[in-house]
Amino acid sequence: MPAAVTVSWQDEDPNKNVRGVEMVMLFGQAFTKQELGRVFPDLMHVAGFKSLTVDDGAGRGMRLLQIESGGGLRVDLLPDRCCDIGQVWCDNIPFGWISPMGTSAPHAIGANTALSGLMATCGFDHIRQPETDEGCAFPLHGNMMHMPAKIIATDTVWDGDECLFRVKAEVTQFNLNYGAIRLQRHIYVPLGGRSLVVSDRATVLSGDLPVMAMYHINLGFPAVTPKSTLNLNGADISRDCLSENAIKVRPSGAAVAEVELAAGADAGARFLLKYDGRKLPFLQTLRNAQEGINVLCIEPATHDRLPRKELRESGALSPTSRGASHKFQLEMLFDSGR
């Protein structure tokens, strides 16, 4: 795998959680910040941010925020869908699974699945199947993924000769009878790197309600093949998770859980996910190998796959008081295999 963004799971300040590599690697050469200034009139012409708008199809009118790392990684962010992650390319190889409709705007989803793109945020009021609980109806995977984000800032963060591209976004969901939750999201991509970090803080603004979260990471070909292998914390879980079309749930199993998908045992694309297994103690996987679909979903979650009533009766669905926050962080690394 390529060099990673270094994550401190103990540091609660998201601005201090992420550091890049020691020097910036661009086009096969190592540069200091001063050296970059000598060779590039404007670094943003070869790496950085691009704001676009989709002008056709199911995504028509949707904002698109693109980050080019300068190291072979290109990331599409979806501000109108919770600032979730659309497609990600590494050396022009796509990693995210995209539905036949493409990545749709919220108003075009209807009865179709919203799970198109590399990552969809499930929660923070509900996760998994639609359910009515204590008189409140919750949609598939909750409300947050359909909410538009306010982009607070897109900037570059330098620490000595290390540089990160940073997106700061804010998303709010609100139900008059249930309450409000605000998501503050920071996304980091290192200049010259092949990784990204999502750092989230979900705060209850009103109501006394449980906070639930699941990060629905959707992977497709060429990372997902009949020869793909899947490992959790170094243990091979391929037979259980990849051999049949099914949903499986297991404990995350480590303070820093690591899930690695490889297209083949010896070659091909590889994807590595790291997350805090104490805050997301369950790992759910979904495999659908039907012809014309071919998706593998890796889904770290706060709660087991049980009805809300059972979770509440077991004490696993305790409310979060107004003003309290939950913090989640994920790191993703991409290797094209080239």
Which string of b and e fits 79-101 if b means at least 16 CB within 10 Å? bbbbbbbbbbbbeebbbbbbbeb
What whole-number distance in Å separates Cα of residue 215 and Cα of residue 302? 9
Q: Is the pTM of this model over 0.75?
A: yes
Tell me which residue has tokens 């509900």.
126
pLDDT at 7: 42
Q: How many CA atoms lie within 13 A of 328 on its CB side?
A: 25
Q: Name the DSSP class of 107.
A: G
Written as one letter, the residue type at 62 is M
Asked if 127 and 141 touch (Cβ cutoff 8 Å), the reply is yes
Written as one letter, the residue type at 190 is P
pLDDT at 19: 46
10 Å Cβ neighbour count for 45?
A: 8
pLDDT at 290: 95
Query: CA 95 → CA 32, 98, 116, 271, 274, distances in Å?
Result: 30, 9, 12, 8, 16
pLDDT at 284: 98
Asked if 287 and 241 touch (Cβ cutoff 8 Å), the reply is yes
Asked if 228 and 271 touch (Cβ cutoff 8 Å), the reply is no
In 176-211 the beta strands, taken as DSSP E runs, fall at: 179-190, 195-206
What whole-number distance in Å separates Cα of residue 83 and Cα of residue 196? 14
What whole-number distance in Å separates Cα of residue 228 and Cα of residue 236? 11
What whole-number distance in Å separates Cα of residue 145 and Cα of residue 17? 24
Extract the tokens encoding 70. 């300068």
What whole-number distance in Å separates Cα of residue 118 and Cα of residue 218? 5
Q: Mean pLDDT in runs of 10 for the chain (338 residues)?
A: 47 44 81 90 90 90 96 97 97 95 76 80 95 91 94 94 95 93 98 97 94 97 96 97 96 97 91 98 97 96 97 95 97 96
Asked if 243 and 303 touch (Cβ cutoff 8 Å), the reply is no
Surface-to-core class of residue 262, CB atoms within 10 Å of its CB (0-12 exposed, 13-18 middle, 19+ buried): buried
What whole-number distance in Å separates Cα of residue 204 and Cα of residue 182? 7
Q: Going by C-beta distance under 8 Å and a sequence separation of 6 or more, which residues neighbour residue 10?
A: none
Tell me which residue has tokens 């049949």.
244
Contacts 24+ apart (CB under 8 A), 23-28: 23/161, 23/162, 24/161, 24/162, 24/163, 24/191, 24/192, 25/71, 25/192, 26/70, 26/71, 26/191, 26/192
